[in-house]
Chains A and B, each alone.
Chain A
């Protein structure tokens, strides 16, 4: 019970801070909306989509990339949450959290769930605007997407958590963003189906298939149509577990070490 109180406090702090930082909310929404309204409109003509599962009919390009853009929000949110961790560590608030009398994995897990909750709020706002724009899914689809989005958010948040444990300073983090976010996003099925990529380059298609972000996007895509993509589910959970384990390892406290030649 007391542990739950601590976890709730971490969650509340994260959500409250997000809601007070309006510009962050705005920026998080503008990014995918630009892709949806501008990029997709321009790209629609260039890319022919055939009917592939979970779709049963021809779909517009905007409809195709909507799950990918949900993934993009989760990806950015995951990285941003870890960015705030690096910031917290520099400012000392991380120290405050880590000196609370709880196991480290628990505190990190609470932080992860809090980050995923914030990400979910952003996705919900995005899907609402997309619906107003005409990209709608069935109520069952929206409902089924919630657990898929949670899992995808946790997996990407865990990746961010792990990266934050390895990055010591904010300046270095910009590089990580470039080397993680862009490759992950473009080497995935978010913007183009994998068979299209296969036509261009089998090697790149192979990398896309190995990319956990692809599986997160596919998990969300199928869920929006009320279906479970089992391989995507498996890979997302596996990757999430692995990233979280790495993050806990990364945040293990250093141990005192005597200098060589001393007791």
Chain B
């Protein structure tokens, strides 16, 4: 088994090799391969319909990959999905909180789902809320928070069990420009703590030149590398449009 031996794939926070998937015979992902190093911010860039959501579904185990295709910190999602899932935090595109329950209750629910003890959960939740400047809002219902705060809460929640990999599926959808910029900066900062981030988006202004990039187009990896290197002298937006044509 590949997960048993040390190799560059095992050292990666996330390694995908030769991933294929079809919906009813129609290919959605074709031979997708890339790796994400620890502490790196990697944008999964692609126009709508490029296969980002399907790829996210496979990476989070909602569609189970074949053995050896998806490794999360060396754990094979195809053979040992629970161990692979334990090492990742996920922020889904759709909201996944209970609006009618408090911020603390939502966070506690997730912490317990991950198996954290009450005391440990209390400590980490207090820490996370303090870091977000939301300590005094713990008792408020999530429905009372604005979109940006809800997203921040979801990101904090996805990190409660201290995963080394954070997956975010178009996390800024529906947010206004300042909230979008704040969330993007916040998640970039997380990489300083060694967390690897895979950020699915179709918005190029969320990327920095120092970020990694995997361009998904029509289910295939059309380009990969550091943003600054792949775009060359072109503005990223122009490069993106040139790569994906009218679809962007």
Which residues of A approach B to under 8 Å, CB–CB?
A: 2-3, 5-6, 8-10, 12-13, 16-17, 20-21, 90-93, 95-103, 253-260, 262-263
Please, which residue of chain A has its CB at the minimum distance from the CB of B88?
Answer: A99
The answer to whether A257 and B94 touch (CB under 8 A), given A6-B113, A103-B82, is: no
How far is it, in angstroms, between the C-alpha of A16 and the C-alpha of B100 when the chains are bound?
10
> Which of B58-66, B125-133, B181-189, B205-213 is the contact stretch?
B58-66
Q: Is the CB of B97 within 8 A of A93?
A: yes
Which DSSP category, helix, strand, loop or mixed, fits chain B's interface? mixed
Q: Is the CB of B20 within 8 A of A258?
A: yes
The answer to whether A259 and B25 touch (CB under 8 A), given A2-B115, A97-B113, A99-B90, is: yes
Q: Is the CB of A93 within 8 A of B96?
A: yes
Q: Does B31 contact A (CB under 8 A)?
A: yes
Q: Is the CB of A5 within 8 A of B116?
A: yes
How far is it, in angstroms, between the C-alpha of A257 and the C-alpha of B58 when the chains are bound?
11
List 5 additional A-B contacts (Cβ < 8 Å) besides A2-B115, A257-B20, A260-B22.
A5-B116, A13-B109, A92-B96, A103-B82, A262-B30
Q: Is the CB of B108 within 8 A of A9?
A: yes
Q: Is the CB of A259 within 8 A of B63?
A: no
How far is it, in angstroms, between the C-alpha of A8 and the C-alpha of B118 when the chains are bound?
12
A5 touches which one: B25, B27, B66, B117 (CB < 8 A)?
Answer: B117
Q: Is the CB of A17 within 8 A of B101?
A: yes
Which residues of B approach A to under 8 Å, CB–CB?
A: 18-22, 25-27, 29-31, 58, 60-66, 69, 81-83, 85-86, 90, 92-98, 100-101, 105, 108-110, 112-117
28 A–B contacts, CB within 8 A, in A order: A6-B112, A8-B112, A9-B112, A12-B109, A13-B98, A13-B101, A13-B109, A16-B101, A20-B101, A21-B100, A91-B96, A95-B92, A95-B94, A97-B113, A98-B61, A99-B60, A101-B82, A101-B85, A255-B64, A255-B65, A255-B66, A256-B64, A256-B69, A259-B20, A259-B22, A260-B25, A262-B27, A263-B31
Q: Is the CB of A256 within 8 A of B60?
A: no
Residues of A within 8 A of B61 (CB): 98-99, 253
Residues of B within 8 A of A6 (CB): 112-115
B64 touches which one: A100, A253, A259 (CB < 8 A)?
Answer: A253
Q: Is the CB of B115 within 8 A of A258?
A: no
Q: Is the CB of B86 within 8 A of A95?
A: no
Residues of A within 8 A of B29 (CB): 256
Residues of B within 8 A of A259 (CB): 20, 22, 25-27, 30
How far is it, in angstroms, between the C-alpha of A2 and the C-alpha of B161 when the chains are bound?
13
The answer to whether A257 and B22 touch (CB under 8 A), given A93-B96, A96-B96, A263-B31, is: yes
Please, which residue of chain A has its CB at the minimum distance from the CB of B22?
Answer: A259
Please, which residue of chain A has its CB at the minimum distance from the CB of B92?
Answer: A92
Q: Is the CB of B95 within 8 A of A258?
A: no
* Minimum C-beta distance from A78 to chain B (A): 21
* Minimum C-beta distance from A148 to chain B (A): 30
Residues of A within 8 A of B101 (CB): 13, 16-17, 20
Residues of B within 8 A of A90 (CB): 94
Q: Is the CB of B85 within 8 A of A16?
A: no
Residues of B within 8 A of A16 (CB): 101, 105
How far is it, in angstroms, between the C-alpha of A101 and the C-alpha of B86 when the chains are bound?
5
6 nearest A-B residue pairs (beta carbon): A2-B115, A9-B112, A92-B94, A259-B22, A258-B20, A259-B27
